[in-house]
């Protein structure tokens, strides 16, 4: 099956800093989603981005499908950005089946 | 839009009992729902895919007789953990994909159910 690797595994930021999270995947995909898991376990949809670039406030994401990676940018980080960020991908006829990466645990310090 | 609920949010049960978890899509119809499992400080692992009106498809290594899935309507799927044991203690999360016909595979997730088996 498809392999998904996220880096870095852990990230500590000072409030106000910018950061980039990376997601590498091993095969072509027709589904790629970024999530933020809050301390209560809820997965918040950040982006549905199998290709291209999107922005939503201080967050933006870019997927380069031909090179099999996606990047999530956090600008002007806030303490509420803390949590675990997951990238998940799906491919082929089973594009609706998501394979999750290991996550990046982000801590934003005031 | 695209809200998914789960009930209960947490449950504690005795070993050997069965527990049912409900997953509902509140503002859209979901032809396909998914069940995931997450252990502490780990990622999510897909357990099974359920399509309305048909049998669920289980991932390799997931016991279909232990984790019974029913997708009776376009807004409701249930997961029943039968004869639960302490090793079944975990965080169970469902997701749903809509029927918009836009070709989007985007999934929306419920808040999860924390199961503790004593």
Q: How near does any CA of chain B get to the CA of A102, in Å?
A: 5
CA angle B71, B75, B78 (to 5 degrees): 40
Least confident of A13-17, A37-41, A55-59, B80-84: A37-41
Residue B102 predicted with pLDDT over 60: no
E-strand spans in chain A?
4-7, 10-14, 19-25, 31-37, 43-48, 52-56, 59-64, 69-74, 83-90, 99-100, 104-109
pLDDT at B54: 83
- Spatial contact of A18 and A60, defined as CB atoms under 8 Å apart: no
Residue A8 predicted with pLDDT over 60: yes
pLDDT at B113: 98
Over residues A11-48, the pLDDT tens digits come to: 999 999 999 999 999 999 989 999 999 989 999 999 99
- Spatial contact of B5 and B108, defined as CB atoms under 8 Å apart: no
Over residues B11-61, the pLDDT tens digits come to: 999 999 999 999 999 988 888 899 999 999 999 999 999 988 888 999 999
Give phi and psi for B77, each to the nearest 5: -130, 145
Residue A5 predicted with pLDDT over 90: yes
Paired residues of B88 in beta bridges: none
pLDDT at A60: 98
Over residues A93-106, the pLDDT tens digits come to: 655 789 999 999 99
pLDDT at B1: 67
- How far is CA B95 from each of CA A16, B4, B5, B39, rounded to the nearest angstrom? 33, 7, 9, 17
Q: How near does any CA of chain A get to the CA of B99, in Å?
A: 12
* Residue A42 DSSP code: P
| Closest alpha carbon within chain A to B40 | A41
| Closest alpha carbon within chain A to B43 | A102
pLDDT at A80: 95
| Residue contact A41–B46, C-beta within 8 A | no
Q: Within an 8 Å CB–CB cutoff, is residue A35 touching chain B?
A: yes
Chain B hits for A88, Cβ within 8 Å: 44
């Amino acid at each position: 099956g498809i392999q998904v690797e996220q880096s870095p595994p852990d990230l500590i930021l000072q409030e106000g800093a910018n950061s980039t999270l990376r997601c590498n995947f091993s095969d072509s995909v027709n589904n790629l989603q970024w999530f933020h898991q809050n301390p209560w376990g809820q997965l918040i949809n950040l982006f549905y981005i199998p290709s291209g670039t999107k922005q939503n406030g201080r967050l933006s994401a870019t997927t380069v499908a031909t090179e099999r990676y996606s990047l999530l940018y956090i600008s002007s980080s806030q303490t509420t950005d803390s949590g675990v960020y997951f990238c998940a991908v799906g491919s082929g006829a089973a594009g609706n089946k998501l394979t999750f990466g290991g996550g990046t645990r982000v801590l934003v310090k005031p | 839009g695209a809200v998914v609920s789960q009930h209960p949010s947490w449950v504690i049960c005795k070993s050997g009992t069965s527990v049912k978890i409900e997953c509902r899509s509140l503002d859209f119809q979901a032809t396909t729902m998914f069940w995931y499992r997450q252990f502490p400080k780990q990622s999510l692992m897909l357990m099974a895919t359920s399509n309305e009106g048909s049998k669920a498809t289980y991932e390799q290594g997931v016991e279909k007789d232990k984790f019974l899935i029913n997708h009776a309507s376009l807004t409701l799927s249930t997961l029943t953990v039968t004869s639960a044991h302490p090793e079944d203690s975990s965080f169970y999360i469902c997701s749903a994909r809509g029927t918009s016909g836009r070709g989007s595979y985007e999934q929306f997730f419920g808040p999860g159910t924390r199961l503790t088996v004593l």
